[in-house]
Every structure is written in C-alpha cells, then in structure tokens.
Amino acid sequence: MMRTLLIGLALVAGCKGAEPVVTTPPPAAPARPSWVGSRPVSDAYYVGVGLAAKARPDFQETAKKNALNDLASEISVRVEGNSLLYTLDRKTSFSESFTSNIRTSTSEQLEGFELVDTWENEHEYWTYYRLSKAEHARIKAERKQRAMDQATDLYARARTSLSEGDLKGAVAHDLRALLAIKDYWGESDQVEVEGRQVVLANELYDVLQRTVAGVRIGILPERCALGYDGRFKRELLITARFDGTGTAADLRQLPLVVSYPGSAGKVVEKRNTDGDGQARTLVQRIQLDAINPEVVVRLDMEALVPEDLDNGLAAPLVASLNTPERRVPIDVTMPRVHMQSLEKNFGEAISDGGAALALREELSTKGFRFVDREQDADLLMLVNANTREGGSSNGFYTAYLDISFSFRDRRSREVIYEGGRQGVKGVQLNFTKAGLEAYKKAVQEVRRELAPAMMDAIM
C-alpha cells in the first residue's frame, strides 16, 4: 500500500511543469546630462568642463583641474598694443617662455567659481564648473586696484631711496612694484603718478632703465701702471655716483664686479661701495702676455635682485638693462736688468756658446730691459758657470757643468731669485767639446724654468 502511494506521488511530480528561473537585471546606466554631451554656452558665465578616466587614482582631482583649465581658457587675455607685455614680446632679450608664463599666470587667476554638477559612469568622471562674468570682473577690479596702489607706493619709495644714494634699494622697490602688477602687464590702463597719467607698468620699467643708466662709475688713476718699483701691484679707487634728471648722489652699498686678466686665469672680485660711494681694489699678479689688458668695473646686476623675489621674472628684467661699466688700461713696465757673467769651460773663459746670452734673450722676450750701467738697473743678474772633467771611455770624454744665477734688488741688495743646475752632463770626442755640449743642455733646461720663475718672484 505504502509503495503504491509513493509511486503515485512521483508520477504527479513528474507531470508538473518546470518552474521559471528569476534573474535580477543590471541597473540601467545613468543618463548622460546634457552638459556632458554638449558644452554649455552662457552669456552670464564662463564655463569649464573636465573629464578624467576612473582608472586614475586621482580621477576626481584631475577632472577638477581639467575643468578649471578649461574655464580659464574661456577668459581671453588680450595684450594691448601699448602695454609692457607687448613691448617685452618684441625685445630680443626676452624669451617666448618668459612672456607666455606671464600670460599663463594672468589667465589662471581664478576666484569665485562654483561647482555646478558632476557625472560619472563605470569608466569616466566629469566635472562642471562655472564663474559669473560679473563676479569675475568685480574681483579682478578689486585685486587690480590693490596691486596698483601697492605698486604706486613702492614707486614712491624707490624715488626716496635713490635720492638717499641707495640705488640697490631703489631697484629693489621698482622690481617689487613691477611684479606686484605682473598680472596686468598686458593692459594699458592709465593711473596718475606725480601728476602725470601713465601706464604704470611701462612707467616702472622705463624708470628702472633710467635708474641703472644714471650710474656713473669712476676709477682713479685713469691708467693702471704696474712696474717693478710697486712690485706689479696697484690699488685703484672706484667711485659710484648717480647722475639723473633732478637727482645726484653718491651711491652707497652699490654692488660692483671688478675683473682683469690674472696670471692664473681671469680674476673676478666683488666689491660694495662704502657710505661715501667709494670702493678700493688691488690689481696684482696679472697675465703679462695678455693683449691690451684692462681692468673692468661694472655694476653687479645679479646682486640687484632681492633673494625673496621670483628670480625667473626679476632676473630677465634686470638682465635686459644696459650694464654700466668703466674700463682702464693696464700698462706694464718690466724691470731693467744689469747682467754680469763669469762662464768658463775647464777654467777658460768663453764668450760664445755660454748660458748668459741665452738667458738674456729669453728674458728680453718677456719684456725685461737690459742696461749697461749698474746704476740704471732695477735688478742685478749674476751668472757663474764652469765645467769639470768626468772621465773618458772608448774615445769619448765626459764633462759636467755647474751653473748658478741670481737676481738681486740693486738698491737693497736683497736676493729676489736664485737658481741653477749642478752636474749637467756632456759627452763628446774631447773634454772641451764635451764641456760645450753640457752648456747646450743646461741652457735648454734653464730657459724653460727661468722666465716663469722670475715672473713669480717679482710679482
């Protein structure tokens, strides 16, 4: 009975139809807003739309940045024909990157923008910003007025500094004034300065040029004479004065660069004037064979830029100015030499083939002047040389030369320099010829060392 019942239930279950499988459909993709598909256009707002791929870890920040860049591109920056930026664009001393950076920084000064909407799907993230044109104009006008007021105040401070002889301070104030209004270098709005209507950026740059051009550098003496009496050293007195329209003053703490050809390469020294507008420098150890040597004193333009300013903007402005400088020629007078020589070959005096004549020729090429009378000389040169036998072998004879030379100050008798060679070897077919051969070798060696050593000794 039980078996019959189970079979019946199984038949009933087999006859019943299969139940349908229920699945949950995926959520519908969010509809794209109209501003994603078509860029909004508005008379009242600047618009910025930005997109970023969600594969980026910073996709939200990237979309915002792109939207604001897009918004900034809508704000046109027109460079007016009589503006400073227009002028700088046409000066060869300014690069395209310099003036384009000014334009970029001007166009990216954004305030008062607002987020309108965002939208995203599985792969994209969009951001929509806008900026009221009226609000932007109001903010810009307020910011511009503050900048103009600051620049005008700095302009007045610069004139005060210049009247007090502080040119470095005047240039610093002028640069700060220019950079305070750098966002408006492309505009030509006029303001009143000292009772005149001027385009302020142009006026500041013109004043900067006139200020630097008014620097007058003086050097005393007007020729730098170097000679043995002064041990080839000379102190120069440098003066700096401003001579401009309506203003004349000694320039204190003015940075200067002094340069001249030195024996070890170009000498470059930095000096600042004192409270009286003066500085001193010592010219020494110059390059004696330099062609038309001179001392150059110029205004240190780099030192005029304050360290706290944007060097990428301030430095090109200063570099575009003509650098005031002064040059004085260097006159070198080499010492007069009276030479005495005692040269022998195995005790016999020699007149030809010795070292004295060769040494005289070498020093003469360096400007030394040889005189016949001792009382006319600055230096006394003494040369002593003699040979000695070194033996013979297989028909060849060896001689050794001992040579010494010295330079003394004629007045003090102080030894300035002394040197020589001992045991210079010569080999020939007899002792006399071997001695002369030793002289030849010694002369070559001494000539190479004598002139440089003498230069070091007297300078």
216-300+325-331 classified as CATH 2.60.40.10: yes
Cβ atoms of residues 9 and 91 within 8 Å: no
Those residues with Cβ within 8 angstroms of residue 182's Cβ, 6 or more apart along the chain or in another chain:
102, 105, 106, 313
Amino acid sitting at position 84: L
Phi-psi region of 374 (alpha: psi -120 to 50; beta: other; left: phi over 0): alpha
Predicted pLDDT of residue 2:
46
Give bridge partners of residue 278 from the DSSP assignment: 239
Average pLDDT score, the chain:
86
336-458 classified as CATH 3.30.160.180: yes
Summarised one tens digit per residue, pLDDT across range 125-141 is 999 999 999 998 898 88
Tell me the pLDDT band of 7, cut-offs 50, 70 and 90.
Answer: very low
> Residue ranges of the domains in the chain?
40-135, 216-300+325-331, 336-458
pTM score, two decimals? 0.74
Of the listed ranges 35-44, 72-81, 183-192, 202-211, the least confidently predicted one is 72-81
Query: Fold match between 40-135 and 216-300+325-331?
Result: no
Those residues with Cβ within 8 angstroms of residue 379's Cβ, 6 or more apart along the chain or in another chain:
228, 335, 336, 337, 338, 407, 408, 409, 410, 416, 458
Summarised one tens digit per residue, pLDDT across range 240-284 is 999 976 778 899 999 999 999 998 899 999 999 999 999 999 999
Please state, in angstroms and as integers, the Cα–Cα distance from residue 59 to each residue in 46, 51, 63, 72, 192, following that order.
Answer: 23, 8, 6, 20, 49
CATH code of the region 40-135: 3.10.28.20
Of the listed ranges 90-104, 154-168, 254-268, 311-325, the least confidently predicted one is 90-104
If one compares 316 and 219, the residue with the highest pLDDT of the two is: 219
Summarised one tens digit per residue, pLDDT across range 189-198 is 788 887 888 8
Helix (H, G, I), strand (E, B) or coil at 404: strand
Residue 231 in this model has a pLDDT that exceeds 70:
yes
Summarised one tens digit per residue, pLDDT across range 433-445 is 999 999 888 888 8
Amino acid sitting at position 267: V
